[in-house]
Chain A
Amino acid sequence: MRNIAIIWKKEIDSYFVSPVAYLLLTMFGLIFGFFFWNAVSYFVIIGIESQMRGGGGPMSVNEYVIRPLLSNVSVVGLFFIPMMTMRLFAEEKRTGTIELLATSPIRDIEVILGKWLAALTLYGCMLLFTALNFSFLFRYGNPDWKPLAVGYLGLLLQAGGLLAVGTLISTMTRNQIIAGAATFGVCLLLWVLEWVSGYETATWAVVLSYCSVITHFESFAKGVIDSKDVVFYVSLIFLGLFLTSRSMESLRWRA
């Protein structure tokens, strides 16, 4: 545990002494702010219209604002995750500091977990921006907080899986650009896989669309914890981190 914390702190420091963290957080803050503004404006207009028509009861903020916004965050996250993980191992390999880590009395898995948790922490910081925006909904409206909390859990699980994949890819190259681009490609692919379910119902299509990280988020966005989806994300995290440790070991045999 102590070793994981040492690595975690080092990675957090390096995110925050360089412009990386600030740039990512700023960009995300701007993008999400725009989404939020759009969603709320739309909600207000729809609300006024339905009142003028005199129809229906009160509209749900959770359903019309929070749920689509959480889905947006889950997609926008795909674009930010490669930028968080590409550095993790590629940089250490390029500068040779990997030799320091590999010859210190610390296990590979501790290094990997420390780095992965640091990336997850940065993602968590990004989510804080969304919490800032959502807090206005609580000030001026009366949304239910539980589905929101479930949504955040889903986002963290999804990001955890994708960050594990990014960490794995980062151990495979010493070039950050390659690591970033490959991770981005994989993230994108894991997003669009579900499209096949739109026109095909054969087994392979079901399997493919099951592998899509986005479909598993839908239940979380609704505020439902479905064990099937939790299992999917947790498996992705385990698989990613396990393969990372294998990849790190193979570095030693090949280097």
Chain B
Amino acid sequence: MITVEGLTKRYARHVAVNNISFSVEKGQIVGFLGPNGAGKTTTMRILTCFLPPTSGKATVAGFDVLEQAMEVKRRIGYLPETPPVYPEMEVAEYLRFVGKLKGLSGANLDQRVDEVSSRCAVADVKHKLIGKLSKGYRQRVGLAQAIIHNPDVLILDEPTAGLDPKQINETRDLIKGLAGDHTIILSTHILPEVEQTCEQVIIISQGRVVATDSVQNLQSGTRGAETIRVEVSGRDGSIEAGAVRQKLEQVAGVSRVVLRESSPVLAVLEVESLKGKVVRGDIARAVVQAGWNLNELHTAAHTLEEIFLQLTGAPPTLESSVSGEKE
């Protein structure tokens, strides 16, 4: 449905999107994941014919975004980061306006306006001014506007940004409900969102695609090895973290030991096993035999978050794990 080949967007001073390629099958929901400034919005703007690419080729439903822009625009529904609504219009009036822009008319237009406003749960505010609506409602009006002409492809730029948790869930359900009829690309920097809504993930960082895979594959890809979190303290109240680390490194099947936190009385370490090895028991034994207290030991599941951090090059830092514990 969507193919992107060697797409590059260069501005005067920097490259926003650098030679990216991917393709999306019909009916899929694809998560476009990346830190802020990674090039998500730029890519989406190219796909919606808002920006022309510097080089490379992108097609939507078989039409080139540069050569056959009108055809692409007819088949695409787009929700930009801020919903493109006119505050001085009423919801129904706005949806009619967009519907007409997209080429609908007559009874078909009326029917579609009713349909999308009930589908996006904005029917109850149909005759309110958009400027008076809450952020959540405005976002849903934005979504309604994107699907009004029943497009083949939906492009949603951070559809849940700025919503409260309840609204986020509602919006996610709404998007999931739209899959099947529509091919959906949604961008986000919120990982659970991708885990919950998308089948396929494209991770981009600094303008490059660093991974394209299904959510399941990505999660299991690194699962062969396990990461174990160990908290150790000394029996007599003091402990030397370096010694603990050395000891654990000697355990068979351990590939790497990272010191996460240390104080004179406590050491927290992360132990990575070699692929396919189960080392929890050996670690526990090693700690106890060395005469230390084993306060805590658990496997840390590979979340998409870790995969994401690995792939985008941001190392999992001491800070992030500390603050994670405080929470």
CB distance from B185 to the nearest CB of A (A): 14
Which residues of chain B are near A136, meaning CB under 8 Å?
A: none
CB distance from B96 to the nearest CB of A (A): 10
Cα–Cα distance between A103 and B81 once the two chains are bound (Å): 14
B63-90 CB mask vs A (1 if < 8 Å, else 0) is 0000000100110101011101111110
Which residues of chain B are near A103, meaning CB under 8 Å?
A: 48-50, 73, 76, 78
- The answer to whether A99 touches B78, judged by C-beta atoms less than 8 angstroms apart, is yes
Query: Is B52 an interface residue when CB atoms closer than 8 A count as contact?
Result: yes
Cα–Cα distance between A3 and B97 once the two chains are bound (Å): 11
Cα–Cα distance between A210 and B317 once the two chains are bound (Å): 70
- The answer to whether A6 touches B102, judged by C-beta atoms less than 8 angstroms apart, is no
- The answer to whether A96 touches B82, judged by C-beta atoms less than 8 angstroms apart, is yes
Which residues of chain A are near B87, meaning CB under 8 Å?
A: 95
Out of B51, B82, B86, B102, which one reaches A104, CB within 8 Å?
B102
Cα–Cα distance between A65 and B102 once the two chains are bound (Å): 50
Cα–Cα distance between A95 and B138 once the two chains are bound (Å): 13
Closest-by-CB residue of A relative to B75 is A105
Cα–Cα distance between A17 and B86 once the two chains are bound (Å): 12
Given contacts A103-B73, A252-B50, contact A14 B103 (CB under 8 A): no
List residues 1-55 of chain A with CB under 8 A from any CB of chain B: 3, 6, 10, 13-14, 17-18
- The answer to whether B50 touches A97, judged by C-beta atoms less than 8 angstroms apart, is no
- The answer to whether B50 touches A99, judged by C-beta atoms less than 8 angstroms apart, is yes
* Secondary structure dominating the interface of B: loop
Query: Is B127 an interface residue when CB atoms closer than 8 A count as contact?
Result: no
Cα–Cα distance between A106 and B98 once the two chains are bound (Å): 11
Which residues of chain B are near A6, meaning CB under 8 Å?
A: 97, 100-101
Given contacts A96-B80, A97-B84, A99-B78, contact A104 B101 (CB under 8 A): yes
- The answer to whether A253 touches B101, judged by C-beta atoms less than 8 angstroms apart, is no
Q: What is the number of residues of chain A that contact chain B, defined by CB distance less than 8 Å?
A: 22
CB distance from B167 to the nearest CB of A (A): 20
A131-145 CB mask vs B (1 if < 8 Å, else 0) is 000000000000000
Which residues of chain B are near A102, meaning CB under 8 Å?
A: 49-50
- The answer to whether A14 touches B84, judged by C-beta atoms less than 8 angstroms apart, is no
- The answer to whether A104 touches B73, judged by C-beta atoms less than 8 angstroms apart, is yes
- The answer to whether A100 touches B98, judged by C-beta atoms less than 8 angstroms apart, is yes
Query: Is A255 an interface residue when CB atoms closer than 8 A count as contact?
Result: yes
Out of A18, A96, A105, A253, which one reaches B84, CB within 8 Å?
A96
Closest-by-CB residue of A relative to B81 is A96
Cα–Cα distance between A97 and B88 once the two chains are bound (Å): 13
Which residues of chain A are near B18, meaning CB under 8 Å?
A: none
- The answer to whether A255 touches B50, judged by C-beta atoms less than 8 angstroms apart, is yes
- The answer to whether B101 touches A106, judged by C-beta atoms less than 8 angstroms apart, is yes
CB distance from B85 to the nearest CB of A (A): 7
CB distance from B323 to the nearest CB of A (A): 34
- Give the A-binding residues of B (Cβ under 8 A): 45, 48-52, 70, 73-74, 76, 78, 80-82, 84-89, 93, 97-98, 100-103, 145
A/B interface sample: 13 pairs, CB < 8 A: A6-B100, A13-B93, A18-B88, A96-B82, A97-B85, A97-B86, A99-B84, A100-B145, A102-B49, A103-B49, A104-B102, A105-B102, A253-B51
Given contacts A100-B98, A105-B73, A255-B50, 13 further A-B contacts (CB under 8 A): A14-B88, A18-B88, A95-B82, A99-B48, A99-B80, A99-B84, A100-B101, A102-B49, A103-B48, A103-B50, A104-B101, A104-B102, A105-B102
